[in-house]
Structure 1
């Protein structure tokens, strides 16, 4: 999952070297905290959150075999 998020985020931003994803396991879910540069935050979120929703949809489709909830936060 983490590699997929990094791959998608790096293809969207102007500063791919500043993209990082932190995986935070919890009891019933896994939180992925996506960190990008301040200037690229809008590109990752998109108008009305459409880009981040699309990223979440791709990750959720890829994680159907995982019983835990997957959450993605943009930091």
Structure 2
């Protein structure tokens, strides 16, 4: 569910939605969500001063409260 959410948000923000790749790495207490976008779109996903990335992380933490797991968003370049 969280993977789909991150993928949807990222595809909505970028110019090249076909290049969006989201991977999940499951851990015991936390899950790492890796987000990879085209080089030209990395700024759109991060935003000025990291505001968009912070907003996505906030949404993930709200989702994590329901499941009791912790989600970590990593934006790969």
Both structures adopt the same fold (TM-score exceeding 0.5): yes
Deviations 1:33-70 (A, max 9, x none): 00100110010001110000001111211221222211
Contact 2:20 2:38 in 1 (8 A): yes
TM-score (norm 1): 0.94
Structure with the higher helix share, 1 or 2: 2
Residue number in structure 2 paired with 1:9: 10
Q: How many residues align?
A: 75
Q: Which position in structure 2 is the counterpart of 1:56?
A: 57
Give the corresponding residue for 2:38: 37
Which moved further from structure 2: 65-74 or 12-21? 65-74
How far apart in 2 are the matches of 1:63 and 1:4? 12
Return 5+ residue gaps in structure 2 as ranges.
none
1:71 aligned residue: 72
Length-normalised TM-score, structure 2 = 0.91
SS at match of 1:27: coil
